[in-house]
């Protein structure tokens, strides 16, 4: 063999060996690098391995590897109030600047002047009134465009971060890891479905058809020759507590094998998911980190975690201790 051919052959072998080595390194790479090496991380990885091992009794076919996650407090932050409500307040103030007559009640006037104490005292009825005023009488497309712009530009009052940056890096890694292992990931949230769809793909790589949320009333009409779905005042379905299993059954048609949440509003979703046959995993994000995020559970007015904390161990659910289990919280953290 000519020396030039020998060198080419050697180079070819080198490239092949290097490729195999890199592939081996990639295969062994940590799928959850922002998680500390704790029992929590081990439990998650062991579960994924158990359902993806085709030779194990615990193997789950890819079409049945369905994972559902709450959004507020699970995939991103939720303090001091749900971010969608912050969007509603900002939108109400902008609407009032153009037409003060939209402030037709005491609670709307209070919201427009950032009187959160009065708004909170108004209870659920007041919150629904604010949502009705700010989430209706416009098309779904226009609403989602406005929500997307707000998420990319508005800043959080405490952290100064843009809202779209306040997602949890460890949960982003978990979503990606699950998809790499053949899972289909869904968001199942008490938040408005159109609000979450405005950012779910860019933030979580979850397409809009894999987002399940609370829905307002709407109707179809042709406006200026263009077929349009319009948002109307009123709530059609609240995707919270008992509503979550119902919504999953309606939209997905299968019981998930993994569910993640952070509050008692997610209890029934985890309960229903883990009650199925075969391997199941329930995850609860416990907010224990007052330095990097917020610490809250039983007494919180947002994201209350009481029953879930009491019953997690007996139900075999994994409680994620944010302070202990997460090396990093935000994507931009050092």
Domains along the chain with CATH numbers: 33-79+165-325 (3.40.50.1000)
Q: How confident is the model at residue 25 (pLDDT cuts 50, 70, 90)?
A: very low
Mean pLDDT of 219-239: 95
3-state helix, strand, coil in the chain (%, to 5): 50, 20, 35
Q: Output the pLDDT for position 280.
A: 98
Q: Does the structure show a pLDDT above 90 at 226?
A: yes
pTM: 0.90
What's the whole-number average pLDDT of the chain? 92
Q: Does the structure show a pLDDT above 50 at 27?
A: no
Mean pLDDT of 119-136: 86
Q: Output the pLDDT for position 126.
A: 84
Q: Does the structure show a pLDDT above 50 at 242?
A: yes
Indicate the SS3 state at residue 49: helix
Tokens 């062994």 — which residue?
28
Q: Output the pLDDT for position 127.
A: 82
User: From CA 50, how far away is CA 85, in angstroms rounded?
Assistant: 40
User: From CA 32, how far away is CA 36, in angstroms rounded?
Assistant: 9
Phi then psi dihedrals of residue 227, to 5 deg: -60, 130
Q: Output the pLDDT for position 44.
A: 98
User: Where do the DSSP E strands lie in 135-237?
Assistant: 138-139, 184-192, 211-223, 226-237
Contacts of 295 (CB under 8 A, 6+ apart): 287, 288, 289, 323
Q: Does the structure show a pLDDT above 50 at 16?
A: no
Q: Which of 27-41, 49-63, 294-308, 313-327 has the lowest mean pLDDT?
A: 27-41
Strands 184-192 and 138-139: unpaired
Mean pLDDT of 275-297: 98
User: From CA 239, how far away is CA 212, in angstroms rounded?
Assistant: 8
Q: Output the pLDDT for position 10.
A: 56
């Amino acid at each position: 063999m000519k020396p030039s051919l020998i060198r080419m052959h050697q180079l070819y072998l080198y490239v092949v060996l290097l490729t195999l080595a890199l592939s081996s390194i990639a295969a062994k790479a940590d799928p959850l690098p922002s998680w500390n090496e704790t029992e929590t991380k081990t439990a998650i990885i062991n579960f994924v391995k158990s359902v993806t091992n085709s030779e194990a009794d615990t193997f789950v076919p890819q079409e049945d590897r369905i994972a559902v996650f709450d959004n507020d407090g699970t995939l991103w932050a939720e303090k001091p109030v749900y971010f969608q409500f912050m969007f509603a307040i900002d939108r109400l103030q902008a609407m009032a600047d153009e037409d003060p007559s939209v402030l037709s009640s005491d609670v709307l006037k209070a919201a427009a002047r950032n009187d959160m104490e009065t708004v909170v005292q108004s209870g659920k009825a007041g919150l629904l009134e604010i949502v009705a005023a700010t989430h209706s009488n416009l098309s779904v497309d226009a609403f989602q465009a406005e929500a997307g712009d707000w998420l990319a530009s508005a800043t959080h009052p405490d952290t100064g971060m843009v809202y779209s940056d306040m997602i949890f890096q460890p949960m982003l890694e978990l979503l990606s890891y699950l998809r790499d292992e053949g899972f289909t990931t869904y968001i199942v949230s008490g938040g408005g479905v159109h609000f979450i769809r405005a950012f779910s793909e860019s933030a979580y790589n979850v397409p809009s058809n894999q987002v399940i949320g609370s829905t307002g009333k709407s109707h179809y009409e042709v406006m200026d020759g263009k077929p349009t779905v319009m948002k109307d005042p009123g709530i059609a379905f609240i995707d919270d507590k008992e509503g979550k299993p119902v919504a999953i059954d309606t939209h997905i048609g299968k019981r998930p094998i993994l569910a993640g949440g952070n509050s008692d509003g997610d209890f029934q979703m985890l309960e229903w998911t883990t009650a199925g046959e075969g391997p199941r995993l329930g995850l609860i994000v416990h907010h224990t980190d007052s330095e990097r995020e917020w610490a809250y559970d039983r007494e919180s007015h947002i994201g209350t975690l009481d029953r879930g904390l009491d019953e997690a161990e007996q139900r075999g659910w994994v409680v994620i201790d944010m302070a202990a289990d997460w090396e990093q919280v935000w994507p931009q953290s050092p």
